[in-house]
Each structure stands twice: as structure tokens, then as C-alpha cells.
Amino acid sequence: MGETVGRKTAVHSRGRGEKEGPDVTGKKELVAEAVTAAKSIQTPSAPSTNVYNVGKMKAMFMNSFLRLPGVREALSAQRQAVLRRETIPREPEVIVIDGDGDDLWSANVDKVNVSRNPEKIRFPDTGPTDKCKCAFDCFRDDLFECKDLKLAVCKGTGIGVKATATVHAGSIIGNYTGVLTTHDFAADKEQTSDYALELQLRSTRNEKVYINATTCGGMTRMMNHSCDAACHFVEMRNRANVVVMVVTKRTIEEEEEVTVDYVDPWFDCVCGAPNCRS
């Protein structure tokens, strides 16, 4: 795809296209190596003979997410657990927000909770809405932004995201943020981005819209791909507001890496899952 940048970095911050190297003894040495690689200045590599399609990293609508195997069953089990807990008297819960690994965050990437919109892109207004009409029960009253996350060095994939507590099915991990742009990365063979995610919904001008998290973003931009991921990108709308959330389809245990399925990755996957598509 023309002059690609960062596809051959020794340890990519998202774990793309790299083979697992020898074990490194000592946590400090492993962290230092990953941080150095993630913050190093990336240089263009030679033109690739392979054809990649950045646009294959896409969000899906909630209806499609709920049709994934096992999702409805997991959400139903979680709902029943919530209902059982509500019948038990208990003290108010105190939520402790864990440190998010600022020492592993790239210095040249801004942290943002809301996507920037320099092109002033607008989306069609869905009009007044009432009770959620999506298929099945999306548990809109149970969804929340998860705070039990941290940046960590993950074996074989470099810097990634891990859970610091149990995260249940149906939880919103966070908003995939970056810069909204109508630049068509899928069609442009010269200008590429490892962090461009294509929206399903088009703008009011019928243009493709991407969220490009190259220069800014949140915790979700650091999540590595897995062919057996616990999360998916889910596109949500409220009137003319469009966001992409990372939503869990199964329970994630404490210290488990939080991964997301890129659907059709354009790199040599090293996730090691039994159903790995590489």
C-alpha cells in the first residue's frame, strides 16, 4: 500500500504483523524494550508487494453485534446475575479507578475522550427517539464505561490493554476516539494509517467517514487484535451523534488481555488463538 509507515517496527504498540521474539527476563527490561520501540521515530519502509486494505477495520451496528454467536446468551446470563444482586441489600459500591499506565503511553499521542472534527463532518439526524428499538435486550440501563483497565506489556504483541478486575459481558470498554476524516484510506495507496476505522454510516454529503487515531485517541486505540477477541467495535447513534464503542461479548477475567476483533486484519496475526485466521 505504497509507502507504509510502522509496519515493520520491532515491537508495534498494537502488536501487528510481528513474530514473537525470545523471552526477555526481567519485567523492567521487558517494559523498557516495549516503551522504547513504541516511542521511537518510525521511518518509511520499502514499498510492499502485498495489497492491504485499511478500510477492513470497521465498526458494526448493535443488531449485528447481538447476532454474534454466544452474545445473547452471555448478556442474558449477566442480566439474571444483575437482577439477583439487586435483591440483596448491600453497601454503596466504591469504584476505584486504577492507573492507566501513563509511562507506556506514547508521548506524541494526545489523550482524548471525544473525537476531534476539524472537517466539521455532519451525520443524518435520526429524529426523536424513544425506548431503544434494537433487536433483543441491549441492556442500555446496564452499560457503562469500564475503568478497570491498564496499559501493560503483553507477551508477543508489545504494549496492550489488560483488565484489572472482572469485566462482564455487555460492558462498554470505551469510546474509540481520534480525528474524524473523510479521507478514503481504503482507496489511497499512498497515505495509510494503522489506526483508521471506517464507520458504517456515511456523512450528510454521502461520504465515507473514518476515525483516525494516529495522533490522538483513548485507551481503546492500544487494544491488540485477536481472532478470538472478547470485544467488537459497535457503532451507536443518538440523533446526529455517531460514536464507536468497544463492547464485550463475553466476560473478561482479571489480568486477561482485552483484545478486539479487527474483522479482517491486513497483517500477519500473532494472537495464537485456536481459530487464528492467519
Q: Give me the residue spans of the domains in the chain.
A: 27-44+51-248
Amino acid at position 153, single letter: V
> Could you report the per-residue pLDDT of 55-112, keeping only the tens digit for each?
456 777 777 777 888 887 877 777 777 667 655 655 544 444 444 555 788 889 999 9
pTM, rounded to two decimals: 0.63
> Could you report the per-residue pLDDT of 3-51, keeping only the tens digit for each?
333 333 333 444 444 444 444 445 556 556 655 655 544 434 333 333 3
For 125, counting Cβ atoms within 10 Å of its Cβ (0-12 exposed, 13-18 middle, 19+ buried), the class is exposed
The Cα–Cα gap between 115 and 217 comes to 8
In three-state secondary structure terms, 61 is strand
Residue 237 near residue 63, CB atoms below 8 Å: no
In three-state secondary structure terms, 116 is strand
The pLDDT assigned to 134 comes to 53
Backbone angles phi, psi at 42, to 5 degrees: -85, 140
The Cα–Cα gap between 104 and 86 comes to 38
Architecture of the structural domain at 27-44+51-248 = Beta Complex (2.170)
In three-state secondary structure terms, 23 is coil
